[in-house]
Amino acid sequence: MAKDKKLVESITDMEQDFPQWYTDVVLKADLANYSSIKGCMIIRPYGYAIWELIQKTLDAKFKETGHENVYMPMLIPESLLQKEKDHVEGFAPEVAWVTHGGETELTERLCVRPTSETLFCDHYKDIIHSYRDLPKLYNQWCSVMRWEKTTRPFLRTMEFLWQEGHTAHATQEESEAETVKMLNVYADFCEKYLAIPVVKGQKTEKERFAGAKATYTIESLMHDGKALQSGTSHNFGDGFAKAFGIQYTDKDNKLQYVHQTSWGMTTRIIGAVIMVHGDNSGLVLPPAIAPVQVIIVPIAMQKGGVVEKANELKDRLSNFRVKVDDSDKSPGWKFSEYEMKGVPIRLEVGPKDIEKNQVVLARRDSGEKIIVSMDNLEEEVAKLLEDIQHSMLENARARRDSKTYVAKNMDEFEKIINETPGFIKAMWCGDQACEDKIKEMTGATSRCIPFEQEEISDTCVCCGKKAKHMVYWGRAY
Ligand SMILES: [Zn+2]
């Protein structure tokens, strides 16, 4: 029992110290570890299994929407990066450079890709000639590197895994439709699979991606009231096409520039899963991306037939991701371990259960225990997983809504951000000076101009002039 206690006690209360709670969960749930390269993490098998499930689901959605996977080089010549002015200015401060090949100094520096717009443009210039070559709907799964000063596992690391979609279209209408379509793919994915409710909207000019005409985003809210940008989709218009000379001949035999998009989701989203659903016993995983959906813990294993029964049940549940833990650790120790790892259902089976032809199912999300007959175990487990997935989304939505506030002036704004952090809905005049001032006064940034607008008041929360948009604000990761 002493050991059981130690395992649970070793994570910090989230109410006491949220950042420390987060780090504890990442380490104790075996998701990731620090590496000898400062700012880079090691994604451990359990963390990587979550990423694989995310990747598999998203990849299928990209293919359903007509995209193809490709692979680009990881190094970008400096001259190529320089071609689009805004883009290079945005990324230059955080780029890592390769200057030598062996002992020989290179004639041109190569950067380790921070993102691959320039490489895709360089390639599109070579393969797009006619309207018949359009659209080009490419996606790449890879890692990128950004030289960050402060890092935290999953949330911000120098190297991270992601997918980057890069598409080229004949018209601005088509690239705009693609940008919105992919944002919706991300939003649906977050809600249906990760059980994370999101706010969809557009970034202000200040927060836009370097070189984009429009950036759309999905924003989610963590347990501690801080926001997290969870996926973005950019419409470049013909800006990159003009910088790189990507032209095609249209049906009237006229030369036109293509219109491009890019969109990405990263391993950062695992940080969101941890911070939206986790509790003081550790991780809580939505069934759709849980590497183990049901953990079977045999009780009184030394009794004849218990382990055999546990394995028999596992075989019956082969439609799900199921594991039996028949190690010699105590049941109490196993309970805490799988709670820490966020396994959605714990199935307990012991001699008494076998006698009564029943098992105990314990939900990780609510802690509720139910006793079900072994006869219809498959249906019971399916039903329960579905119910957990659904209620995790509803609970997360309720938590987010309870932390979403309205501010009509800066006094209200400051009071909310300091006393009850969360999303703040407030009107904005559209002037960047107000956006800068709000950030300076409160540390909050504009998260997005939501597609679903509300008329809170007529005037800007900051300057009192006529308001243009309702904006979601918040301190963010
Ligand atoms: Zn203003």
Span 1-18, pLDDT tens digits: 444 445 555 899 999 999
Pair type for strands 358-363 and 369-373:
antiparallel
Q: Residue 49: which residues within 8 A CB-CB, separation 6 or more? A: 291
Non-local CB neighbours of 476 within 8 Å, separated by 6+ positions? 226, 227, 228, 229, 445, 447
113: which DSSP letter? P
Q: How far is the CA of 461 from the centre of ligand 1 (A)?
A: 7
Tell me how far the alpha carbon of residue 467 lies from the centroid of ligand 1, in angstroms.
7
pLDDT in tens, 212-224: 899 999 999 999 9
Residue 173, φ and ψ in degrees, nearest 5: -60, -40
Report CA(136)–ligand 1 centroid distance (Å). Answer: 41
Please give the Cα distance from 315 to 77 (Å, whole number).
53
Q: How far is the CA of 425 from the centre of ligand 1 (A)?
A: 14
423: CA distance to ligand 1 center in Å?
Answer: 19
Give the Å distance between the CA of 433 and the centre of ligand 1: 7
Centroid of ligand 1 to alpha carbon of 437 (angstroms)? 9
Give distance in angstroms: CA of 213 to centre of ligand 1. Answer: 22
Tell me the CA distances in angstroms from 395 to 18, 99, 293, 390, one per residue in order. 19, 51, 19, 9
CA 449 – ligand 1 centroid, Å: 14
CA of 11 to the centre of ligand 1 (A): 43
pLDDT digits 0-9 by tens, 78-137: 999 888 877 788 888 899 999 999 999 999 999 999 999 999 999 999 999 999 999 999
Structure tokens at 364: 């990780």
How far does the centroid of ligand 1 lie from the alpha carbon of residue 306, in Å?
68
Instruction: Indicate the Cα dihedral angle 178, 181, 183, 188, nearest 10°.
Output: -160
Q: Reduced to 3 states, what is the DSSP secondary structure of residue 365?
A: coil
435 CA → ligand 1 middle, Å? 8
Ligand 1 centroid–CA 209 distance in Å is: 22
- Residue 210's pLDDT is 83
Q: How far is the CA of 464 from the centre of ligand 1 (A)?
A: 6
- Give per-residue pLDDT as tens, 137-189: 999 999 999 999 899 999 999 999 999 999 999 999 999 999 999 999 999 99
Q: At what angle do helices 410-419 and 432-442 cross, to 10 degrees?
A: 40
Beta strands in 187-309 (DSSP E): 199-202, 214-221, 227-237, 247-249, 255-257, 259-266, 294-298
Structure tokens at 141: 């799964």
